[in-house]
Amino acid sequence: MKQPGTFRLTLGALALAALLPATASAQAFVGGRPPGGNGLKVGNGRLHPTLELETRLDSGVGYFREAGTGPLSPDLSGELALHIRPGLMLDVPSPKLAIALRGNLDYVAYTGLITAGSGAASHLEGAADLALRFNQESELSVEVGDELTRSDRTRTAALGAGILSLFNEARVKAQWKPGGGALEVTPSLAYAMEFFEPLGGMTPIGCTDAACDPLAASQFNYGNLRLGAEGRWRFLPKTAVVVDTGLEYRGYFNDTTTPSAAILHAMAGVSGLISPRITLTAKAGWGQNLGSSGGGTVVGQVEGTYLLGPSLTVKGGYLRAFEPVAAYGTFRDDRVYAEGRSVMGSRLALHATGALDFLSFAGSRGDTLVTLDLGPEYQIRPWLVGAVGYMLGTRSSSLGAAGLNYTRHEGYARVSVSY
C-alpha cells in the first residue's frame, strides 16, 4: 500500500524541528571550544544562532539531459552548488537534566553554470538532533533523543546515486554503573524510519534493477527496530572486557519482494590502553538473520588509536558488519578505515579520513566503495570559522548500471558565523 502523505508530513516535521536546534557542523570548532560570542542565556546554558555559507563544486549532482534537451547523460553530471545553512545550537548543562540540541536548515541551490537544467533539482536539506540526559552523575543515568536528517546521502547501502533520503530515529539508552563504576551495563532501544524520493526525474542509462533507479526508490521505505545491550567490566585500571549484543528488525512499508530481516548479533572482546600513547579495542562474534531468508557470518572490529603528540591523533581499524538492506534482505560490509586529526596552535585544525568498503549482498552482487575527506579549518575570530576541503566518493558494482558505478569529486569552501 502506498503512503503518499507520509513523506510530506515528515518533511513538515523536519522544517519545524530544524527551526529550533543548532547547526550540527558547528560542533567541530577548532580545539573543541564552544562557538564565539555570548549567545542567548537559557537557564544555565546558552543558545547560539549560527549561519554557514558554502560553495561546493560537485562532479556528481545527478543525471540530466545533455545540453538540457538532448539525450540523457550516461554519467553523473557536475555542478556548482550554493549551500545556505541557518541554524541554532543549544547546551544546557545540569546533573539532573542536561539538554543538547543541534540543527540546521540547508538550502542547496544548483547554479546551472556547468549543467543546463540542474537548477530544477535544487532542494531543501537539514539536520536536527536532540539529546536529554537525566542524572548523568548517578549510578543509573538515562538518555532520550531523536535524530532527523534530510540529505542526498542515503544510509541504505544497496541504493545508487540521485536519491534524497529523509531519516528519523528516536532512541532511549540507560547506563547502569553498580559498585563504583568498574562494571557498566548499557541497554538501548531505537526505532528508525527512512523515506526516499528521486533527486531528478531520470532513470540512469543501463539501470534494469530497482536498486539503481531513483524513480523506484520509494518502494524501499522502511521501519527499523533496534534492541541492544552493551557491557563493560574494568578488570584492570586501564583495561576492560566488553560485550556487545543486539537484535535488529527491518520491515518495508511498500515493498513486497524484499524479505524482512531480524538480525541477532553478539560480540565480546577487550578494550584499553596498551601503552601511554596507544589504545586498542578488539571484539568478535557472530551475526545471524532469524528471518525467512536466513544467513549469518562472523562479525567484529579491531580499532587502534595512536597519540603522536599532544595535538595529533591517528585512528584506524577493520570492521565487519552484517546488516539488513533494501532489495536483498541482508549484506556484509568489510571496511578498512583510517582517520587523522591535528590542532596546530589555537586556531588551525586539520583532518583527513578515508575508508575502503567491500559490500557483499545476499545473492551474487558485490560493490566496492572508496571514500576520502580532508582539509583544514581556521578560526578567524571567536565567532568566525573558515574551512576548505576535498571529498572523494568512488563506487563500483558487479551490476553494470550507471547509478551504481561512478566517481564523485567535491571541493568546498565554507564560512561559519556564530553568536
When the pLDDT of each residue in the chain is averaged and rounded to a whole number, the result is 87
pLDDT above 70 covers a percentage of the chain that reads 88
Q: With residue 175 as reference, give the H or E element that holds it.
A: strand 163-176
What DSSP string describes 285-300? EEEEE-STT--EEEEE
Average pLDDT estimate for 273-291: 96
Pairing of β 77-92 and β 45-62: antiparallel
Distance CA 17, CA 266 (A): 35
63 compared with 276, residue with greater pLDDT: 276
Distance CA 150, CA 262 (A): 26
- Of 14-28, 31-45, 122-136, 344-358, give the lowest mean pLDDT range: 14-28
Q: Which of 240, 264, 246 is CA-nearest to residue 184?
A: 240
pLDDT over 70 at 32, yes or no = no
Report residue 119's pLDDT band, with 50, 70 and 90 as the boundaries: confident
Residue 66 is predicted with a pLDDT of: 65
Residue 30 is predicted with a pLDDT of: 38
Q: What is the per-residue pLDDT across 136-151, written as a single tens digit (0 to 9) for each?
A: 989 999 999 999 999 9
Residue 161 grid coordinates: 546515486
pLDDT above 90 covers a percentage of the chain that reads 66
Average pLDDT estimate for 308-319: 94
Q: What is the per-residue pLDDT across 58-102, written as a single tens digit (0 to 9) for each?
A: 998 877 766 656 556 667 788 999 999 999 999 999 999 999 999
Residue 33 neighbours by CB under 8 Å, 6+ apart: none
Count of beta carbons in the 10 Å neighbourhood of residue 418: 24
Distance CA 238, CA 276 (A): 10
Exposure string (b/e) for 114-128, b if CB count within 10 Å is 16 or more? bbebbeebeeebbbb
Residue 204 is predicted with a pLDDT of: 73
Distance CA 167, CA 147 (A): 8
> Taking a C-beta distance cutoff of 8 angstroms, is the pair 385, 379 a contact?
yes
- Of 41-45, 147-151, 281-285, 365-369, give the lowest mean pLDDT range: 41-45
208 compared with 11, residue with greater pLDDT: 208
Residue 75 grid coordinates: 554519467
Q: Which of 296, 299, 307, 297 is CA-nearest to residue 282?
A: 299
Can you give the residue ranges of every domain in the chain? 4-418
Phi, psi of 290, deg, nearest 5? -85, 0
Q: What is the per-residue pLDDT across 171-229, written as a single tens digit (0 to 9) for each?
A: 999 999 997 789 999 999 999 999 999 886 667 767 778 888 888 889 999 999 999 99
154 compared with 317, residue with greater pLDDT: 317
What is the Cα 110 distance to its own chain's centre?
23
The structure's pTM equals 0.86
Distance CA 89, CA 33 (A): 13
Residue 415 grid coordinates: 564560512
Distance CA 76, CA 73 (A): 7
Q: Which CATH class is domain 4-418?
A: mainly beta
Residue with cell 588509536: 305
pLDDT over 60 at 5, yes or no = no
pLDDT over 90 at 413, yes or no = yes
Phi, psi of 63, deg, nearest 5? -105, 125
Distance CA 165, CA 156 (A): 9
Residue 89 grid coordinates: 545550537
Q: What is the per-residue pLDDT across 245-260, written as a single tens digit (0 to 9) for each?
A: 999 999 999 888 888 8
Average pLDDT estimate for 388-414: 92
